[in-house]
A = this chain, B = another copy of it.
Amino acid sequence: MENYPLTLHTVYERSQSLFAKKEIVSRTSSGIHRYTYADFGRRTKQLASALQCLGVDQGDRVATFAWNHHYHLEAYFAIPCMGAVLHTVNIRLSVEHIVYILNHAEDRFLLIDEGLLPLFEKIKDQLKTIEGYIILTDKKELPDTTLHPVYLYENLLEEADPLYKFPADIHENAPAGMCYTSATTGNPKGVVYTHRGIYLHSFGIGLADSLGLAERDTVMPIVPMFHVNAWGLPFASVWFGSKQVLPGPMPTPEALLRLIADEKVTIAAGVPTVWTAALKAQESLQADLSSLRAVICGGSAAPRALIESYEQQLKVPFFHAYGMTETTPLVTVARLKSYQEDLPPDEQYEIRATQGLLVPGLDMKIVGPRGEVAWNGQEMGEIWLRGPWVATEYYKDPRTQESFQDGWLQTGDIAVIDAEGFVKLVDRAKDLVKSGGEWISSLDLENALMAHPNVFEACVIGVPHPKWEERPLAFVVLKDAALQAGDKNELLHFLGNKFAKWWVPDDVIILEEIPRSSVGKFLKRALREQYQTYFTGN
């Protein structure tokens, strides 16, 4: 019993023995590509054989730089099952970070979408370990590129050994994949996924109380395969024999809605911005979404209104989930407990707008300034996690000691937890305001300010204070600049009606615009630097 290894070979083999006829559909630049799990399985072994011929050994890192499609799915299994490590590179990172992580991971080969070649041509001279580029295309002629050496994917597969067998002796704790966080400061940090971790995470996704992924599902991961395993959906889909719909390069909201309708997708997963855009597009497109049994939304918090819109307007069940690169990623899913289904709809939506309940298998605590917090929906603490698919270190990175302690991952996410165990994110640890030993959520204050009719956007930071350590300072952009003069006191009064007195910011500063990062997030760091002496005066 104890010696049977938990590896991706089990996952691959079941798909081949039981689901050979099931379909995998990819949206490519040249149209819809369809094939079966039998095709997928044959080509996956061919890819492994081809990589072996190129000299890839067990433990070697092989990188991918690609959208969601069948080539990428083949790499998802060929690379780990041959004993190598699938390193999915996030195509949205900055050029500097991409160079950093390829060098840091010491990737030997890169599988790359033809459409993404230009980016690599710019950085190729900075890459220290890449020995060759494999172009993911169905074309038989090499594109014009300065990368060298380059190989055509289909040519490699044609030349592969048709009798190739995966090695049978891969240990369950062997690395299967890796992914780097999209760091907001400093270089990205690498997370290694073991065979065992991915195996158990896939089990987690199949549980009726989490995503309940099943053979009868048609699964469309809109979340990219180049980041956090597309939430583990490709691995679990192969195990359970679900039909897969991979939406290819840069899918528009309309393309996604059409795929759902055409392929009768039953479960689709993406970030809130995707679902917001799809909701808008659906107004005019009116695609048939009746096949959808679940939309999964994660990556960042979805507004409650989005959940309500999907369920009430579109009649599509919408589930909030939470996770991160370090957790493979599934941590919580917001499903009601059975006895909560008698609550009034308003309370149900309030619960379902939280991040949800911890999935079976993981261990969690919420740690506040005085230890574990009470489960009262009020006390804030940082989410600490451990479990068989939670990382215990960053790959070759001294920053491990900042985030891991006694086997626990300190997520940096600040949350409250209610008496039933539903977790609700309230802030990032670095954005918390720490005032007199208590924590104040900048996010709560921002959300409250943004609900004021005159406020266009709001941002709150903690600023050093001689007596209280930090005090909150608010920044707002007003909808009508003419109103400025009297608004500061009005806004503080407005917050005073909603929060305890000590939560109310010591001042409100009215700006023309709030500084933003390249991806559009508030640059709180810039504000903190500029205003760090605002209360101390030196």
How many Å from the CB of A182 to the closest CB on chain B? 20
Q: Which residue of B lies closest to A9 (CB)?
A: B363
Complex Cα gap A18–B214 (Å): 25
Partner of A358, one of B18, B193, B212, B215: B18
Say if the beta carbon of A13 comes within 8 Å of chain B.
yes
What 0/1 readout, one digit per residue, does chain A (157-195) give for beta carbons within 8 Å of chain B?
A: 000000000000000110000000000000000001110
Query: Which of B1, B357, B388 is within 8 Å of A197, CB to CB?
Result: B1
Contacts of A389 in B (CB 8 A): 1
Residues of B within 8 A of A6 (CB): 200, 388
User: Which residues from 122 to 145 on chain A have a C-beta closer than 8 Å to any C-beta of chain B?
Assistant: none
Q: How far is the CA of A241 from the CA of B210 in the complex (A)?
A: 13
A215 touching B14, Cβ below 8 Å: no
Chain B residues with CB below 8 A from A363, complex form: 4, 10, 13
Once the chains are docked, how many angstroms separate the CA of A386 from the CA of B389?
A: 24
- Shortest distance between the CB of A177 and any CB in chain B (Å): 11
Give the distance in Å from the alpha carbon of A389 to the alpha carbon of B203 in the complex: 14
Nearest B residue (CB) for A393: B1
From B2, B173, B207, B241, A206 is in contact (CB under 8 Å) with: B207
Chain B residue numbers with a CB within 8 Å of A206 are 206-209, 360
Whether the Cβ atoms of B197 and A208 lie closer than 8 Å is: no
A487–chain B nearest beta-carbon distance, Å: 45
Whether A4 pairs with B209 at a CB distance below 8 angstroms is no
Of B2, B337, B361, B392, which one neighbours A173 at CB under 8 angstroms?
B2
Residues of chain B within 8 A of A357, CB atoms compared: 18
Please give me the residue from chain B that is nearest to A341 by CB atom: B216
Q: Are B196 and A407 in contact (CB under 8 A)?
A: no
- Whether the Cβ atoms of A360 and B14 lie closer than 8 Å is yes
- In chain B, what residue has the closest Cβ to A21? B339
The CA of A6 and the CA of B362, in the complex, are separated in Å by 10
0/1 interface trace, chain A 363-376, chain B, CB 8 Å (1 if under): 10000000000000
Q: How far is the CB of A18 from chain B (nearest CB, A)?
A: 4
Asked if residues A10 and B207 are in contact (CB atoms below 8 Å), the reply is no
A360→B196 contact, CB < 8 A: no
**For the complex, is A240 an interface residue (Cβ under 8 Å from B)?**
yes
- Residue numbers in B under 8 Å from A89 (CB-CB): none
Q: Does A421 contact B (CB under 8 A)?
A: yes
The 6 closest A-B pairs by CB, nearest first: A208-B214, A216-B338, A2-B173, A208-B212, A206-B207, A18-B421
